[in-house]
Amino acid sequence: MRRKKEEREKGDESIIGSGDFVTGILKKGVESFEMQSEETSSLDLEIDTVTKHMGVTVEDLKPVEWRRYRLSEAVERREKTQDTAVDVRKQEAWGIAGSAAQLLRKEFGAKKIVVFGSLAHEKGFGLWSDIDLGALGIPPEKFYSAVAAVIGLSSFFKIDLVDVAECSTALQKVIEEEGIEV
What value, to the nearest 5°, has the Cα angle with vertex 167 and ends 96 and 146? 40
Q: Tens of pLDDT along 75-106? A: 677 666 667 888 999 999 999 999 999 999 99
- Please give the average per-residue pLDDT across 51-66, as a whole number: 68
Give the pLDDT score at 84: 83
For residue 112, with 0-12 CB atoms within 10 Å meaning exposed, 13-18 middle and 19 or more buried, which class applies? middle
Give the pLDDT score at 162: 98
| 142, pLDDT greater than 70 | yes
Helix, strand, coil content of the chain in percent (nearest 5): 60, 10, 30
User: pLDDT-based confidence at 40, cuts 50/70/90?
Assistant: very low
Dihedral-angle region of residue 49 (phi above 0 means left; psi in -120 to 50 means alpha; beta otherwise)? alpha
pTM for this predicted structure: 0.58
> Which class does domain 89-181 fall in?
alpha beta
Higher pLDDT, 6 or 169: 169
Give the pLDDT score at 39: 47
Higher pLDDT, 24 or 108: 108
Give the pLDDT score at 116: 97
**Domain boundaries defined on the chain:** 89-181
Give the pLDDT score at 161: 98
Mean pLDDT (the chain) is: 80
* Adjacent-strand bridge partners of 159: 131
Higher pLDDT, 57 or 179: 179
Q: How many CB atoms lie within 10 A of CB 57?
A: 10
Q: Alpha-carbon distance 150 to 171, whole Å? A: 20
Give the pLDDT score at 52: 73
